[in-house]
Structure 1
Amino acid sequence: MADRYLRFAGTAPGRVLSRRLGLPQPAELVRWSPERPFHEGDLLHLTAEPSTHEQALRDLLPRTGMKVVSASAAPAVVVLDATGLAVVEDLAGVHAALRPVVRTVRPGGRVLVVGVRPSQYDPEQAAVQHALAGFVRSLAKELGQGRTAQLLRLEAGTVAGAESTLRFLTSPKSAYISGQVVQLGPFTEGSGAVADWSHPLAGHTALVTGAARGIGAAIATTLARDGARVVCLDVPQAAQDLERTAVRVGGSSLPLDITAPDAAERIAEHVATTTGTLDVLVHNAGITRDRRLANMRDVDWSSVLDVNLGSVVRTTQALVKSGLLGEGARIVATSSVAGLAGNAGQTNYAAAKAGVAGLVQALAPGLGAYGITVNAVAPGFIETRMTAAVPLLIRQAGRRMNSLGQGGLPEDVAETVAWLAHPGSAAVNGQVVRVCGQSLLGA
């Protein structure tokens, strides 16, 4: 779906007019492509305060694929090591390190602050590490020109399990993510081994629900690009589009209503007769039936809750219990900014999507003990057939009400799912990651 304002604002007359009228000036985002897998330019590594993580992080950063330097006139990526911050006075080091360089970051570049999990036993250290979240969210709103900022929290004392996340957050794959806090959890050495970082899902099978078109089709395509054998699932009414997606990604199609009582059993049967195993489960199927609560029919409420939340609960529990999703499996569900911040006319949808976030956070600790991770993506305004049907003025407001001043693409959600599905992302568990360009709705 064309964003004509984005194109106009990128022209010389558009830049002048939008500046004079005080209108948003969105920049074209730098996204991943085979020709541009990394940002062009240097990765500038800075340290706010010496820490025990310093050398290990320095050794890990070159594995992002970028040239790591300690000084640069125009870095593409800035990584600030803030793991050593423990007292309020240490925050001055963040200001001193970043203030001189934020204006020099290339358009479309990245600022990544690396902290540690706030301590349960040291209130001042916890306060200081929490302060970094407010700092990063505010900085992300200041950077402009398609630049983004994130906070990555490590487990205290180790950078183990951080590689896939560092690669993702410093790359063009994270173009529509900004102002987010990603917490890494415990990581067992040897788990999540990656033989080929260009095809990390080779030999793995992924099931994507709602895969016929839009975001689901983009997820299937991206997982296949990363080497997965993809089972594409959608309702029988979308069978033709579903088959086209499956053929395009070299996978198989499973026309099935995910709310059917025997959905999990039929998934298991299909997997048994095609690939034999299931390593990645992506819950993407979803519907909307928008009305204000006073006007909402029973069927509008129940259908949205059943598709968007009930089916996720039932299918996940059944496939884990059956053993089809075993050690090392990745479960990725789809929440929404509407579920995190609320949205008028979407009490049913917001309830379901908030429920998905709660489910992920509840399941993660228990399943994590078995090497299974459970995470969620929370998209904001994404350019799809559904948002194309939104009235013009509301659509334009949805596009502009974020720090990047534009809507995201299905590929932005797909890249985030691929990172969470990555074998090397074993330390990422129980996270709800907003793919919204730092929407002004909610945190």
Structure 2
Amino acid sequence: MVQTRPTLQGTFGMVSSTHWLASAAAMAVLEDGGNAYDAAVAGAFVLHVVEPHLNGPGGEVPMILAPAGGAPKVLCGQGPAPAGATIEHYTSLGLDLVPGTGPLAAAVPGAVEAWLLLLHDHGTKSLREVLKYAITYAADGHPAVERVGATVETVRELFENEWTTSAELYLPGGVAPKPGGLLKNPALAETWRRLIAEAEAAGSDREAQIEAARKAWREGFVAEALAAFAAKPAMDSSGERHAGTLTADDLAAFRPAYEDPVTHTWNGWTVAKVGLWSQGPAFLQQLALLPDELEYATPEYYHRLIEGTKLAMADREAWYGDSTEVPIEALLSPEYTEIRRKLIGERASFDLRPGSPEGREPRLSRHARYVADGGVTASAIGAGEPTVAKDGLTRGDTCHLDVVDRWGNMIAATPSGGWLQSNPVVPELGFPLGTRLQMAWLDP
């Protein structure tokens, strides 16, 4: 068999990401003596610049790091809901779903704080050293990927009529970014330059500089601009203009946190995922439901995989969340897995079938039930998913970054949210808030 792609090997380490410029920046850091965590931070900030339709500084990031010779750890860069984002607040506005776009869907941005914490605790480079790549691409421009302009076109009317600060950045002269055309974001470059300036004003110590940058982000000029902009009513996917609930206090209170990953061993491999505040454990449930002895790529294999995926996702709908009453151990237990396996018959199922771990009755939002029962309306399309256009037909997506260095340190991260189509651009910062709360149901 002729291989059309080479086997990739290296001595400094290896980088994989969803954009070549982010991979190149991260690789440059490895070649300059940085470790996997330095490289990941550099690559991540480049991703914020070159894939604004897939992630941004106003979004979030789950990451798993595996230090050489140490146990894997999760770093949670998912910001919480603002204190004012209550069920009562949304329903008082006449809403039965959190809008898919706009200030009401904004959680506390978690990505930048998490990347800065990673750099502080595990990196070796200064903030200036890792941000220089992102600053250059934002200030001098980068070749726009095709999907940036295509995404802008889907929300052109919204940008031109309502989100005019976004139009100024992404529709200059009424023209969307052309594939390969130079796309600049000078305001974002200036945000990163100012963050560096505030960091270096704290002295020459690397860790102190990064702490100063974190404070500037959550309590200083960035937080002030984000809170002020969130308070301004903006058109969202409900068809109405609403102000957000994000405040300076919400931004100041957030701290990224380390935690142990959820793991499952399948076919001799121990797979680590982020916890129940994400959908990560659904993959572990999929593996648990897939018998070890199945021959790969056979019809039976695919049938079992697909039907098991449906069961895992049904459990996700019923049991995953911040205040889940069911521990992940129960969902991954051999006893529960065997009960679920017995539901896989010879034919495909069209039902949403969450289980009853520890004998508990599953709870599903009426919106999840409605979609599962085949109902399709403008409000149901994409309900609970990253819907980003007023008509519900355009969705956001995400990006990814993996790095391993010469010493064996590894990291896998999935920056997401804060898309250009999420919220209006904050003009003095060069990026919008995210919309992660769109995935929350308004059910007690």
Same fold (TM over 0.5): no
* TM-score, length basis structure 2: 0.26
Higher-strand-fraction structure: 1
* TM-score, length basis structure 1: 0.26
Structure with bigger RCO (C-alpha 8 Å, 6+ apart): 2
